[in-house]
């Protein structure tokens, strides 16, 4: 309701407006609240909330198989998976599980054709080094802090020394009060009645959605929260976060396996996000050692540069200009062009 869905919530928190750039204008879109316990999803078994990467993939796979059995008319359709941020783990792991299980006799075959992950968290080492390089190259921290971090921090080991922690704290302090997910966007607390970002995305949208989805009549209409979940609906579940028990340091081997499987693998990156930055993603891609098939070029939509793209052997990387962590929020038109290109199996348009 703040990104790629068909509806956005108005400031009143009770009415909706249509998103003309919704992704369901070009594909059938199925949203899955995962892992169990996030959003309105729930389990009657408390141990299901002690979860991690492996269980999340298994639960998502079980859901998809059951869903296809219930709606068999979709069994032969092309199936693609997208996600952002920590879905840099979820999506490749689910895709891998699908491909492995498709080889099992008498197993429901899911017609997986491709995956696309946006501003993904995929590798702990490049997450560290890429983040601080992004801060420095975007004038968020000083030369001295940048040098201090790279002289004292060993991102490959995962161990943080006292000196490293000191410089990291200095970086956080130096950056100040900005939206790390979109470094050039206004904060909700400082927004006026008229949004000031390029795409006119209202930075207070999360608050409108919170109000809307916690309205009893809305929940009743959605057939949601029928078990009366304790506490309000919330976009993040901290209990699940604190009880995560399975998180590999890198999913690059999984992504490499997918690139060799024959399915389409796309990674896209809004270039104003500092949380899972374009620099972080480029560093991670370099570790895959893929050869370039189509060199880096500017792609266009609505007469403007939408971003930049490079096609590697069996993997496509696309940036979205002026987009933060949540690409369809900040650049909905460019995001839809990107998504449409992914669906068509074609590179984003070069003119």
Active site residues: 85, 273, 325
C-alpha 318/C-alpha 307 separation (Å) is 7
C-alpha 98/C-alpha 67 separation (Å) is 14
Tokens 């987009």 — which residue?
323
C-alpha 199/C-alpha 4 separation (Å) is 13
Tokens 């949004």 — which residue?
195
Q: Which residues of 110-125 are buried (b: 16+ CB within 10 A; e: fewer)?
A: bebebbbbbbbbbbeb
Phi, psi of 163 (to 5 degrees): -65, -40
Q: Cis check for the bond before 35: say yes or no (omega within 30 of 0).
A: yes
- Report residue 151 as tokens: 């002289």
Instruction: Of 100, 144, 119, give the one whose Cα is nearest residue 327.
Output: 119
* Chain Cα centroid distance, residue 23: 15
- 3-class secondary-structure state, position 42: coil
Evaluate whether 48 touches 36 at the Cβ level (below 8 Å).
yes
- Cβ count within 10 A of residue 13: 16
C-alpha 168/C-alpha 152 separation (Å) is 10
Sign of CA dihedral 248, 112, 334, 253: positive
- 3-class secondary-structure state, position 299: strand
Residue ranges with strand state E in 79-217:
79-84, 112-118
């Amino acid at each position: 309701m703040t990104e790629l869905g068909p509806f956005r919530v108005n400031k009143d928190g009770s009415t909706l407006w249509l998103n003309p750039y919704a992704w369901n204008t070009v594909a059938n879109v199925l949203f899955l609240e995962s892992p169990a316990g996030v959003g309105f999803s729930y389990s009657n078994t408390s141990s299901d909330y002690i979860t991690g990467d492996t269980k999340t993939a298994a639960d998502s796979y079980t859901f998809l198989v059951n869903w296809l059995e219930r709606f068999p008319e979709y069994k032969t359709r092309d199936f693609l998976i997208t996600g952002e941020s920590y879905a840099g783990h979820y999506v490749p792991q689910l895709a891998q599980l699908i491909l492995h299980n498709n080889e099992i006799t008498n197993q429901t075959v899911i017609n997986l054709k491709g995956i696309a992950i946006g501003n993904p968290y995929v590798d702990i080492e490049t997450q560290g080094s890429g983040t601080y390089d992004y801060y420095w190259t975007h004038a968020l921290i000083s030369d001295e802090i940048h040098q201090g971090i790279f002289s004292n921090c060993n991102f490959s080991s995962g161990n943080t020394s006292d000196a490293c922690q000191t410089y990291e704290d200095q970086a956080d302090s130096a950056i100040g009060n900005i939206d790390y997910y979109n470094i050039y966007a206004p904060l909700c607390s400082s927004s006026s009645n008229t949004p000031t970002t390029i795409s006119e995305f209202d930075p207070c949208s999360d608050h409108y959605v919170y109000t809307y989805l916690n309205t009893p009549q809305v929940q009743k209409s959605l057939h949601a929260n029928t078990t009366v979940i304790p506490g309000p609906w919330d976009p993040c579940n901290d209990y699940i976060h604190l009880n995560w028990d399975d998180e590999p340091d890198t999913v690059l081997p999984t992504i490499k396996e997918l690139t060799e499987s024959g399915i389409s693998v796309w990674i896209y990156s809004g270039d104003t996000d500092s949380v899972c930055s374009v620099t972080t993603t480029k560093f991670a891609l370099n570790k895959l050692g893929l050869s370039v098939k189509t060199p880096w070029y500017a792609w266009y939509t609505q007469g403007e540069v939408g971003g930049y793209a490079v096609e590697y052997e069996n993997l496509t990387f696309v940036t979205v200009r002026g987009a933060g962590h949540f690409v369809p929020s900040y650049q909905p038109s460019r995001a839809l062009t990107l998504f449409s290109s992914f669906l068509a199996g074609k590179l984003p348009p070069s003119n």
